């Protein structure tokens, strides 16, 4: 109960910290168990290129994963479903503007950086 009162007082006087920046640049979704290893590889590749990445922790419906990204205010989501894996591409969705594009695996880091720079 005391923690609630502290937060009420801090809020009243405008002293609560405000997070202006999302915790990551991109969310890599896990479409199903079969694609989980490839999603982890994509997340690691993006991290090595200097991007801040969250890998969704389990296979779940994409709607749930997109809601997670929205709650955290993540600007970009990467989807690697069976169709994308078979075609050698990923779908990169910009949640800020609603645009999306399919890009080759090797070009995903550059595409994400371009999308982030256009903000």
Assign 29 a pLDDT band (cuts: 50, 70, 90). Answer: very high
**Surface-to-core class of residue 89, CB atoms within 10 Å of its CB (0-12 exposed, 13-18 middle, 19+ buried):** middle
Q: Which residue has the tokens 């779908």?
A: 91
C-beta atoms surrounding 72 within 10 Å: 14
The CATH number of residue 99's host domain is 3.40.50.800
In angstroms, rounded to a whole number, what is the distance separating the alpha carbons of residues 17 and 59?
Answer: 33
What's the domain count of the chain? 1
- pLDDT, tens digit, for every residue of 58-71? 999 999 999 999 99
The C-alpha atoms of residue 106 and residue 119 are separated, in whole angstroms, by 23
Residue 2 lies in a domain: no
Structural domain that includes position 107: 18-117
pTM > 0.75: yes
């Amino acid at each position: 109960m005391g923690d609630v009162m502290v937060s009420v007082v801090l809020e009243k006087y405008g002293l609560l910290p405000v997070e202006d920046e999302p915790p990551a640049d991109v969310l890599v979704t896990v479409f199903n168990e079969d694609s989980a290893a490839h999603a982890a590889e994509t997340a690691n590749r993006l991290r090595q290129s200097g991007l801040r990445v969250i890998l969704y922790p389990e296979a779940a419906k994409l709607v749930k994963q997109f809601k997670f990204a929205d709650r955290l205010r993540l600007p970009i989501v990467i989807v690697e479903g069976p169709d994308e894996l078979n075609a050698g591409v990923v779908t990169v969705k910009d949640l800020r503007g609603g645009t999306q594009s399919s890009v080759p695996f090797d070009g995903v880091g550059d595409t994400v950086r371009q999308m982030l720079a256009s903000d």
